[in-house]
Chain A
Amino acid sequence: MALVIGVGLFFSYKVVADAQEKDRVVQQIMYSTNQLNNMVAAYVLHHEERPKLQFLAEQESMGSLTARVRFPVQEQQLVVDHIRGHDETIRSLFLKLVSSQERIESGQDAALLREAEELLRGQLIIEISDVLGDATRLESLVDEEITSTQRTVVVLVIALILTAAVSLTMVLILTMRSITTSLAALRRGTEVVGAGNLGHRIGLAARDELGLLARSFDHMTERLQAMTVSREDLQQEVVERKQAEVALRQQENLYHSTLDGMLEGCQILGLDWRYLYVNDTAARHGRRAREDLLGRTMMEVYPGIESTELFVQLQRCMRDRTSHHMENEFTYPDGGKGWFQLSITPVPEGVFMLSLDITERKSMEKLKDEFIAMVSHELRTPLTVVLGGLHTLQDHSSQLTAEERDSLLRLAYLEAESLTDIVGNLLELSRADSGRLILERGVVNMGVVLDGALRKAGAQYPRHHFVAELPASLPEVHADCVRLERVLSNLVDNAAKFSPEGSPVRVFATTRDGEMLVGVADQGDGISAADQARLFAPFERLGRGSAGSTGGTGLGLLVCKRLVEAHGGRIWVESEVGKGSVFQFTVPFWPITDSRVVER
């Protein structure tokens, strides 16, 4: 409402200002009118130019003024229009007056002209005074307007003051009430919350200090509530987490048991090199107990590991998150060594290492390498004789005696035979090992076999003394003749090689326990018990004899073993160091089914 009054006041003041402006206009008109009056009088007096010009100028100015102004009040504007109308009449009357004066001077009917002049002047004065009257009336109208407006202003001001007073009183009352209400709400709120109801809010929207206090209080209550809620939530979370842990552990256990049971070693190293997981196999590979490993770092458990290739690869895996494979020879604290095939993989926790024990394979490989080396060496010696002998023969045949020529040829031939034996042994071994050994059984006269073997040996080892011991009649045996020959040949060969020149080599055959028993006895250095155990093992290079070694691989004996056992027989040695050796084998008279052998 104050706004309305204020607007009213503003307009009132505006009206007053306008009215005062109008008043000025009116004053101007009245002044102009007076001037017109004076000018007419002056002109009529002397009929001079100056008053005439001044009259016309003043008349024009008044004319333009009345044309220009706008009085919003219709009544007032009508008066102004009226004045303007009169103003125009005044002009025309004056001009007529002037023209009549000119006529007089031109000497026309003087009496008429004088009367005309008088009448015109009279009318002019009437008009001018009319305007004056109108102007005066206008002035009073404007004054009335001002007065009434001023009265309105006073009223409005009083109204404003009254409004202000009333409003102030009301505001005061309302404020007082609001404060009382707020205080009550505040007190009640604190009581309720204090009693334990954290959901209660005072909810004061007031913008004063009490409202702020109430809102702070509510805020505090809210926080308390949230904390209580969050504590419950926390407990809930703990329960859930425990459950999750249990589930996780169950899952872990599942994986653990999977990994635990693997034949390969599984271990997980954390990024800090601590053993996080070690299965039994891995522990075994590392020759440590699981408990000794878990939680400790690799460096602690195996000092010096940092300098190994294994460590380098592990490091690379940790750092670059790349997978690696490697074969690693691991030296144990006790000095022992083992070969492991390792698979190193990055996992989120750190590094996973799979280990496969290939020690045996490695040693096998080593033995195989050695065997191959040995065999190739074994072959080279006879080859040298053959090649060298024949070469010499060729180069120097003219210089050679017949004797020399003969001996070279003979040597070449014998060595070539020796080569044939070796190659033959190799082939048989290959067949036997790959299950392709097929016995060609037939009726075999052992005596003939013995004879054949001895004859061969005699040629090869002329300085040795070979004896055959046979009973009068020896039953025939169902066996592979060629293979038996080989067995015997190998044994005799060995006997000759490992016994001194001139010493006898005795070959015998007999029956015993329903089987054929064949043996080769020599008077060499003998074989120690320890060596005996290794005799028939693959790739075993047996250094028979007192010191050092002579040629000969375990090839021959191994082949013997295979062939004898293929027949269903047994082979063994009886020997003492310094007392020579007796190699014996048995051959059943009739075939015994052996799964390893395919019978024809």
Chain B
Amino acid sequence: MLVAVIVLTGGGCGEATPRPAERTTIAVVPSLFAVPLYVAYDKGYFSDEGLDVNLQSYASGPQALDALFSGRADFATAADTPMARAAVDGKPMAVIATIAENDQAVLVVARKDRGISGVEDLRGKRVGLALGTAAEFFLHIFLTTSYVSPRDVQTVNIAADEVVDALVKGEVDAVSTWAPYTLVLQDQLGPNAVVLGAPGIYAMNASVTVRHDFAANNPERIKGFLRAILRSNTFIREHPDEARVITAKYMAEDSSLYAREWNDYSFVAELDQSLILNLEGQARWMIRGEAGGVRRTPNFLDFIYADGLKAVQPGAVTVPGK
């Protein structure tokens, strides 16, 4: 009798994939935004979906996207700023899902000994950041909404993974960056570090994207990828400590660092209207900042591939029109 019940209620457990494992390269930016990828990779969820995954690390989102568009990677993770740039530049981007959110991700870390104690003190100072990344957009929105004119602050382009050195060496007065760099800097500068931020000012998303053609040709792989991510999210939810340990393996930093900010991150698998709004907003800022040409704000609906996520978790797609 009991057996019969199980048969009737037992929902869709995963079917074993009949196809052979496909080699898949994922371009990852090592940060807490990539935790679901690391967990899926480490726990074998990707291989369960028939994906033989190869992880490649890039220092920043633009670099990861570069790898994707040049064909070196099949999947890439990036924050919304580089994605907005890619869309503005007309790259063949297809975002398949937002995998992580944090509205306190990016911060300005300043040197107290440069006379900086608050955001107003940034006037006339040199702030190092990686152009084209969320750090750039964050600084802009942070200054503006703090009624400090961005024109009063000098930005210096520093590669994302070099900001720590730059500030420590004093090449700049402050930097705009994200975890784990923010944590490392606080450690290294100690009392000399001033952390400036405005929670809620900028909600950074990390999303996974593929190329348009890839999306058209590999719907199953995308579904497999997304299913693995969903499993990861469940795992992260249920075993946060283990997830942290796994992350540390791949990011080469002490897992204790992550514990401090872990709860600020939301690990999801969704496609929201807010993503579009976010991308649009940044696109507009980029276009406006450009001298000369007046490019139009791209229609981001064209840069979203919702079918994969819809098939795997219908309720996760809330973009009207998709």
Q: Please report which residues of chain B, range 1-40, place their CB below 8 angstroms from some CB of chain A when the two chains form the complex.
A: 1, 4-5, 8-9, 11
B274 touches A89 (CB 8 A): no
Q: How far is the CA of A385 from the CA of B318 in the complex (A)?
A: 176
* A151→B147 contact, CB < 8 A: no
Docked complex Cα distance between A120 and B145 (Å): 7
Task: Report the separation of the CA atoms of residues A440 and B203 in the bound assembly, to the nearest whole angstrom.
Answer: 175
Q: Is A434 an interface residue (CB 8 A)?
A: no
A109 at interface by CB-CB < 8 Å? yes
- Across the interface, do A141 and B277 meet the contact criterion of CB distance under 8 Å? no
Give the nearest-CB partner of B80 in chain A: A126
**B315 lies within 8 A of A155 (CB):** no
Once A123-B141, A133-B274 are accepted as A-B contacts, the answer to whether A141 and B315 lie under 8 Å apart by CB is yes
CA distance A162 to B278 in the complex (A): 56
Closest to B284 in A: A122
Q: Which of A98-133 contact B (CB under 8 A)?
A: 100, 103, 108-109, 112-113, 115-116, 119-120, 122-123, 125-127, 129-130, 132-133
Closest-by-CB residue of B relative to A114 is B144
Please choose the segment from A74-82, A551-559, A574-582 that sits at the chain B interface, where 4 or more of its residues have CB less than 8 A away.
A74-82
Q: Does B201 contact A (CB under 8 A)?
A: yes
Chain B residues closer than 8 Å to A100, beta-carbon distance: 145, 147
Query: Is there contact, CB below 8 Å, between A155 and B273?
Result: no
Residues of A within 8 A of B149 (CB): 109, 112
CB-CB under 8 A from A139, the residues of chain B are: 315
A89:B103 contact, CB within 8 angstroms: yes
Q: Would you call A92 an interface residue if the criterion is a C-beta within 8 Å of the partner chain's C-beta atoms?
A: yes
Q: Is the CB of B1 within 8 A of A159?
A: yes
B interface residues with partner A (beta carbon < 8 Å): 1, 4-5, 8-9, 11, 101, 103, 141, 144-145, 147, 149, 199-203, 234, 237-238, 266, 270, 272-274, 277-278, 281, 314-316, 318
Q: Is B316 within 8 A of A126, CB to CB?
A: no
Q: Which of A1, A74, A123, A141 contacts B237 (CB 8 A)?
A: A74
Given the known interface contacts A133-B272, A151-B9, the answer about A126 and B1 at a Cβ–Cβ threshold of 8 Å is no
Which residues from chain A contact B141 at a C-beta distance below 8 Å? 119, 123
CA distance A112 to B145 in the complex (A): 9
Residues of B with C-beta under 8 A to A103: 147
Contacts of B9 in A (CB 8 A): 148, 151-152, 155
Q: How far is the CA of A143 from the CA of B266 in the complex (A)?
A: 22
A525→B265 CA distance, assembly (Å): 177
Contact flag A130-B315 (CB < 8 Å), given A108-B147, A120-B145: no
Q: Mark A128-157, 1 if CB is under 8 A from B, else 0.
A: 011011001101110110001001100110
Q: How far is the CB of B120 from chain A (nearest CB, A)?
A: 13
State whether the Cβ of A96 lies closer than 8 Å to any Cβ in chain B.
Answer: yes
Nearest CB of chain A from residue B6's CB, rounded to whole Å: 9
User: Does A123 lie within 8 Å of B1, measured CB to CB?
Assistant: no
User: In whole angstroms, how far apart are the Cα atoms of A96 and B316 in the complex?
Assistant: 31
Instruction: Please name all residues of chain A whose beta carbon is closer than 8 Å to the beta carbon of B234 when the two chains form the complex.
Output: 75
Give the chain B neighbours of A108 by CB distance below 8 A.
147
Q: In the complex the two chains form, is B1's CB within 8 Å of A136's CB?
A: no
Q: How far is the CB of A317 from chain B (nearest CB, A)?
A: 95
Contact among B5, B147, B273, B314 for A133, CB-based, below 8 A: B273
Are A113 and B277 neighbours in the complex by a CB distance under 8 Å?
no
B-chain residues with CB within 8 Å of residue A479 when the two chains form the complex? none
Q: How far is the CA of A291 from the CA of B281 in the complex (A)?
A: 149
- Tell me the dominant secondary structure on chain B's binding face: helix
Q: Given A89-B103, A96-B145, do A126 and B200 touch, yes or no (CB 8 Å)?
A: no
User: Cα distance A206–B273 when bound, in Å?
Assistant: 73
A115: which B residues are within 8 A, CB to CB? 144
Q: Which of B144, B266, B315, B318 contacts A82 (CB 8 A)?
A: B266
Contacts of B318 in A (CB 8 A): 132-133, 136-137
A window 379-418: CB within 8 A of B? none
How far is B147's CA from A103's CA once the two chains are assembled, in angstroms?
10
Residues of A within 8 A of B273 (CB): 129, 132-133
Number of residues from A at the complex interface, CB < 8 A: 47
Closest A residue by C-beta to B141: A119
- Shortest distance from the beta carbon of B276 to any chain A beta carbon, whole Å: 8
- Chain A residues with Cβ under 8 A from B144's Cβ? 112, 115-116, 119
Other than the given A119-B145, A137-B316, A144-B315, 13 more pairs (CB < 8 A) read A78-B266, A93-B200, A96-B145, A112-B144, A112-B149, A116-B145, A120-B145, A126-B278, A129-B274, A130-B203, A130-B274, A151-B8, A155-B8
In the complex, what residues of B have CB within 8 A of residue A156's CB? 5
| A-B pairs with lowest CB-CB distance, top 7 | A140-B315, A89-B200, A133-B272, A130-B274, A129-B274, A122-B281, A129-B273
A480 touches B (CB below 8 Å): no
Is B203 in contact with A123, judged by CB distance below 8 angstroms? yes
Partner of B277, one of A1, A122, A159: A122
Contact present for A133 and B270 (CB under 8 Å): yes
- Could you tell me if B145 and A148 are in contact, using CB atoms closer than 8 angstroms? no
Can you give 16 contacting A-B residue pairs, CB < 8 Å?
Answer: A92-B200, A112-B149, A120-B145, A123-B203, A132-B318, A133-B274, A136-B318, A140-B315, A143-B315, A151-B8, A151-B9, A155-B8, A156-B5, A159-B1, A159-B4, A162-B1
Cβ of A515 under 8 Å from chain B? no
Q: How far is the CA of A136 from the CA of B313 in the complex (A)?
A: 13
Q: How distant is the Cα of A459 from the Cα of B274 in the complex, in angstroms?
A: 190
Q: Mark A160-176, 1 if CB is under 8 A from B, else 0.
A: 00110000000000000
Which A residues are in CB contact (< 8 Å) with B203?
89, 123, 126-127, 130
Q: Does A88 contact B (CB under 8 A)?
A: yes
Question: A75 vs B233: C-alpha distance in the bound complex, in angstroms?
Answer: 10
**B4: chain A residues within 8 A (beta carbon):** 159
Q: Are A125 and B277 interface neighbours, CB within 8 A?
A: yes
Interface residues of A in 504-553 (CB under 8 A from B): none
Shortest Cβ distance from residue A483 to the other chain B in the assembled complex, whole angstroms: 144
Distance between Cα atoms of A316 and B145 in the complex (Å)? 135
Q: Which of B141, B274, B314 is packed against the most chain A CB atoms within 10 Å? A: B274
- Once the chains are docked, how many angstroms separate the CA of A347 from the CA of B159? 139
Distance of A58 Cα from B233 Cα, bound (Å):
32
**Are A113 and B147 in contact, CB atoms less than 8 angstroms apart?**
yes
